[in-house]
C-alpha cells in the first residue's frame, strides 16, 4: 500500500489528461498520510503569510491565502466526493478520523489574529488600492469568514468555538453515514407475482435483477429512488406500499446504530452555541446574515406568505384525490402511502395520460445528448467523451467540454444508484476554476444522480421528473464549468445560498418547451419523436397537484427553520418538533420523521437555508420570462445570461448580477403569475 509521502499520488502533480484525478493510483491507505501532510504544508504556508515582514498587499496576502491550501483542498475533494458516491467501510472510517483534524486546521486559520489584521488592513485601505470589484469582494468575503469563525472572541470563547466546530464536523458526517446505512438496511422481498400488480415492466425487471444480484428468488425492492418512487406510485398492493412508505420515512428514526435523533440534538445545540458565542440569538440569525434574505424575519415572512397562498389549494388537491379514490372503490381514510398511488390514477383519468408512457421517449443517452445539444445552441459548447480520463467506477463517464476550440473543463457523469452512494442528486467538483498568476486551472465538475440502470435489452429510461432533475443538476454544473473569475473562493457555485439554486432552476423550464423536447425525445425502440399530444399533456399537467407539492416544499423549509430558530437547547424529540410545525394534511404516522434523514440541513450546506429553493424560484421565474420573450434558443439572451451571471460566480453580489442581466431589480410578478397558473 502507498503510505510513503514521497510516493503518495495525492501529493504529486498529476500527469494525467487535463490533470484529472488518477483514481487507480490512489489506495485508501494514501488518504490519511496525504491529508495530514497537506495540512502541515498549508499550516507552514499560512504561518509564512502571517509572519512576513512586508506590509500587506493584495498579492502577498489575499492571493497567497487563496493558494495556501491548494494541495489540501485537492486531496480532500477526492476523499469527500468518493465518500459520497462510492464509499466503503474503510473510507467512512478514514473520513471520521480526518474530518476533525481538517476542521481544527481550518478553524485555526480563521481565528488567527495576525492574518485577520493583514486582511483588515487591506479592507481599511481598499479605496486607495485600485482594486477590481472581484478583489474587493474577495477581501470582504475573507473579513466575514474571520469574524464569523470567532477571530474577535476572547481566548476561552475561541477554544469553545473551535471545539464545537470540530465536533460539528464529525456529527454531520455521522448523520449522513447513518442515513445512508439506514437506506440500505431495508429491502422488500416479493415472491408472489400477484404483489407486483400495477408496477411498470421496467420496474419489475429491475427488481428481479436486484434479487438475482443478491442470490434471491423473486423480486427485491429498495429505498433507492428508482425502486422506491415507482413502487409508491404504481403498486396496487396497499399493505406493501405502507411498508415501503414507513421504512423510507423512518430512516434514522428506528433506534439502533443508525439512529439520528441524538445526532440531531447535538448538531442543533452546538450550532446554537456557536451563534450565541458570536452574539446571535439563534443559528438562523447567524446563518442568514450572508444571504440575500439576510434575516430571520424576512424568511419567515416569505414562507408565511407562500403558505397562505398555497395551503388552500393543497387542501383542494387532497380533496380531489380523496373523491377520486372513494369513487373508485377505496374505503376509509386516505393515508400517506395512498396519496402517490391515487393521485397518479387521477392524473391518468384527468389528462387521459399515463406518465409511464413517457419513459420510452426519455432514454438516458438521448436525454444526455439533448442537454448537450441545448448547451451547444445556447452557448456554443461541445462535450466529447474521453475514455483516457480515469473514472472511479465503471458506471461513470468523463467528458471534455469545449467552447469552440477552447477547452473549458472536465465533466463527470455518475448516473446510477449503488449501495455505496447516497440517495438524491447533486453537483460537486474535484477542482474549481481559478485564474490567478500562480494558479490557472479549469474546473473538473461532477454530476451525481440515481437513475434506474439498464436491465437486459432495456436501456435506462427516465421519468419526466428525472429529466427535470438531470436538467437541474446540469444547470449547477454549467454554473461551475462556465466560471471565469480569478479566485477559487468566488468561482462557480460559490455564491449566496439563496441564489445558488437559481441557475439550475432556470434550466428546468426548458423541459416544458415543445421545441426542446423535439430535439431528443424519441422512442428508444421505434425512433418515433414524442407525439405532439404527449407534449401537450406534459404542458397541461405541469401544475397537477402543484398546491400539494408546493406545500410539501414549504414544510421542509418550515422544519429547517424550526430547528435553527431555537433560542434554547432542543428538549423534544425531532419527530415531535417536526410535526408541530409542518402543515400536514394526512394523518401523522407515529415513528415517521423526515428530519432524521434530512441530509440537506444536517449533513449538507442548507441549514437555515432550505427556503432558498423557493426564494430562487422567484428569481428563476423572472429570468426565464426574458428567455420566453426573446426566444428560448436566443443566442444573445443566452450570451448575456452566461456573461452577467454564470461566468461571474460570487465575484459580485447576486442583486448586482441579476440587475446586470435583467436591467432592473427582481420583480415577483413572474412568480405570482406562475403561482396563479399552478394554484
Catalytic residue among 45, 106, 400, 473: 473
Residue 497 and residue 605 in contact, taking contact as beta carbons nearer than 8 Å: yes
The enclosing H or E element of 426 equals strand 426-431
Whole-number Å distance between alpha carbons of 519 and 248: 37
Q: What are phi and psi of 315, to 5 degrees?
A: -65, -40
Long-range contacts of 114-120 (CB under 8 A, 24+ apart): 114/50, 114/51, 115/46, 115/49, 115/50, 115/61, 115/65, 115/146, 116/146, 116/151, 118/49, 118/50, 118/56, 118/61, 119/56, 119/61, 119/62, 119/65, 119/143, 119/146
The enclosing H or E element of 401 equals strand 397-403
Whole-number Å distance between alpha carbons of 53 and 244: 65
Q: What are phi and psi of 388, to 5 degrees?
A: -80, -10
**Chain centroid offset of residue 49 CA:** 34
Cell numbers representing residue 33 in the block: 498520510
**Number of DSSP helices (H) and strands (E) in the chain, helices first:** 26, 9
Phi-psi category of 562—alpha, beta or left, where left has phi over 0 and alpha has psi -120 to 50? alpha
**Residues 6 or more apart from 491 whose CB is under 8 A from it?**
432, 433, 434, 443, 480, 483, 485, 649, 650
The enclosing H or E element of 22 equals none
Cell numbers representing residue 559 in the block: 422544519
**Residues 6 or more apart from 638 whose CB is under 8 A from it?**
378, 379, 627
According to DSSP, the residues that pair with 384 across neighbouring strands are 400
Q: What are phi and psi of 484, to 5 degrees?
A: -135, 55
- Radius of gyration of the chain from its Cα atoms, rounded to whole angstroms: 25
Q: Is 473 a catalytic residue?
A: yes
Other Cβ atoms less than 10 A from the Cβ of 385: the count is 11
Task: Give the helix, strand, coil percentages of the chain, each rounded to 5.
Answer: 60, 10, 30
Residue 438 and residue 63 in contact, taking contact as beta carbons nearer than 8 Å: yes
Residue 75 and residue 132 in contact, taking contact as beta carbons nearer than 8 Å: no
Residue 446 and residue 412 in contact, taking contact as beta carbons nearer than 8 Å: yes
According to DSSP, the residues that pair with 447 across neighbouring strands are 413, 427
Whole-number Å distance between alpha carbons of 557 and 577: 13
Whole-number Å distance between alpha carbons of 281 and 317: 38
- What torsion, rounded to 10 degrees, do the Cα atoms 661, 664, 667, 673 define? -60
Q: Which residues are catalytic?
A: 473
Amino acid at each position: 500500500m502507498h503510505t510513503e509521502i514521497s510516493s503518495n499520488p495525492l501529493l504529486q502533480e498529476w500527469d494525467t489528461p487535463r490533470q484529472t484525478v488518477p483514481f487507480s493510483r490512489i489506495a485508501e491507505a494514501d488518504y490519511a498520510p496525504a491529508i495530514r501532510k497537506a495540512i502541515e504544508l498549508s499550516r507552514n504556508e499560512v504561518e509564512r503569510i502571517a509572519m512576513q515582514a512586508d506590509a500587506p498587499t493584495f498579492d502577498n496576502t489575499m492571493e497567497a491565502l487563496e493558494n495556501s491550501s491548494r494541495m489540501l483542498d485537492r486531496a480532500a475533494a477526492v476523499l469527500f466526493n468518493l465518500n459520497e458516491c462510492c464509499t466503503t467501510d474503510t473510507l467512512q472510517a478514514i473520513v471520521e478520523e480526518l474530518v476533525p483534524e481538517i476542521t481544527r486546521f481550518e478553524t485555526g486559520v480563521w481565528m488567527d489574529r495576525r492574518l485577520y489584521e493583514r486582511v483588515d488592513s487591506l479592507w481599511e485601505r481598499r479605496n486607495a488600492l485600485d482594486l477590481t470589484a472581484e478583489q474587493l469582494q474577495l477581501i470582504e468575503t475573507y473579513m466575514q469568514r474571520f469574524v464569523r469563525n470567532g477571530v474577535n472572541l476572547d481566548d476561552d470563547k475561541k477554544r469553545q468555538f473551535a471545539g464545537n466546530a470540530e465536533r460539528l464536523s464529525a456529527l454531520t458526517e455521522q448523520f449522513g453515514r447513518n442515513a445512508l446505512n439506514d437506506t440500505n438496511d431495508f429491502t422488500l422481498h416479493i415472491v408472489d407475482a400477484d404483489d407486483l400488480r400495477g408496477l411498470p415492466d421496467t420496474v419489475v425487471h429491475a427488481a428481479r435483477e436486484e434479487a438475482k444480484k443478491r442470490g434471491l428468488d423473486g423480486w427485491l425492492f429498495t429505498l433507492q429512488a428508482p425502486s422506491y418512487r415507482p413502487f409508491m406510485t404504481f403498486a396496487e398492493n396497499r399493505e406493501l406500499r405502507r411498508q415501503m412508505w414507513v421504512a423510507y420515512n423512518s430512516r434514522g428514526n428506528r433506534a439502533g446504530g443508525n439512529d439520528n435523533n441524538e445526532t440531531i440534538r447535538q448538531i442543533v445545540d452546538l450550532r446554537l452555541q456557536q451563534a450565541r458565542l458570536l452574539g446571535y440569538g439563534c443559528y438562523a440569525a447567524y446563518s442568514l446574515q450572508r444571504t440575500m434574505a439576510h434575516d430571520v424575519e424576512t424568511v419567515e415572512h416569505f414562507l408565511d406568505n407562500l403558505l397562505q397562498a398555497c395551503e388552500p389549494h393543497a387542501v383542494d388537491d387532497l380533496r380531489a384525490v380523496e373523491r377520486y379514490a372513494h369513487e373508485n372503490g377505496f374505503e376509509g381514510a386516505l393515508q400517506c402511502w395512498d396519496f402517490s398511488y391515487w393521485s397518479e390514477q387521477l392524473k391518468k383519468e384527468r389528462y387521459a395520460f399515463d406518465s409511464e408512457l413517457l419513459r420510452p421517449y426519455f432514454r438516458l443517452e438521448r436525454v444526455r445528448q439533448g442537454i448537450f445539444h441545448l448547451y451547444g445552441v445556447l452557448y456554443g459548447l461541445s462535450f466529447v467523451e474521453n475514455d483516457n480520463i480515469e473514472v472511479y467506477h465503471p458506471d461513470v463517464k468523463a467528458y471534455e467540454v469545449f467552447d469552440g476550440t477552447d477547452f473549458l473543463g472536465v465533466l463527470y457523469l455518475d448516473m446510477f444508484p449503488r449501495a455505496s452512494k447516497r440517495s438524491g442528486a447533486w453537483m460537486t467538483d474535484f477542482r474549481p476554476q481559478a485564474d490567478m498568476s500562480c494558479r490557472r486551472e479549469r474546473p473538473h465538475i461532477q454530476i451525481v444522480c440515481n437513475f434506474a440502470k439498464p436491465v437486459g435489452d432495456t436501456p435506462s429510461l427516465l421519468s419526466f421528473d428525472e429529466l427535470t432533475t438531470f436538467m437541474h443538476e446540469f444547470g449547477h454544473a454549467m454554473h461551475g464549468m462556465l466560471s471565469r473569475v480569478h479566485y477559487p473562493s468566488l468561482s462557480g457555485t460559490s455564491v449566496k445560498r439563496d441564489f445558488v439554486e437559481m441557475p439550475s432552476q432556470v434550466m428546468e423550464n426548458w423541459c416544458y418547451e415543445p421545441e426542446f423536447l423535439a430535439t431528443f425525445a424519441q422512442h428508444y425502440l421505434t425512433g418515433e419523436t414524442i407525439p405532439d399530444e404527449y407534449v401537450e399533456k406534459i404542458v397541461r399537467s405541469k401544475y397537477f397537484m402543484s398546491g400539494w407539492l408546493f406545500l410539501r416544499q414549504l414544510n421542509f423549509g418550515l422544519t429547517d427553520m424550526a430547528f435553527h430558530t431555537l433560542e434554547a437547547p432542543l428538549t423534544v424529540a425531532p419527530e415531535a418538533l417536526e410535526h408541530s410545525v409542518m402543515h400536514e394534511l394526512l394523518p401523522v404516522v407515529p415513528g415517521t420523521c423526515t428530519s432524521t434523514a434530512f441530509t440537506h440541513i444536517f449533513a449538507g450546506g442548507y441549514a437555515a437555508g432550505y427556503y432558498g429553493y423557493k426564494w430562487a424560484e422567484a428569481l428563476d421565474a423572472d429570468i426565464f420570462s426574458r428567455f420566453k420573450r426573446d426566444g428560448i434558443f436566443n443566442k444573445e439572451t443566452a450570451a448575456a445570461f452566461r456573461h452577467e451571471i454564470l461566468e461571474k460566480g460570487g465575484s459580485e453580489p447576486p442583486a448586482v448580477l441579476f440587475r446586470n442581466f435583467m436591467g432592473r431589480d427582481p420583480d415577483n410578478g413572474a412568480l405570482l403569475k406562475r403561482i396563479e397558473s399552478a394554484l
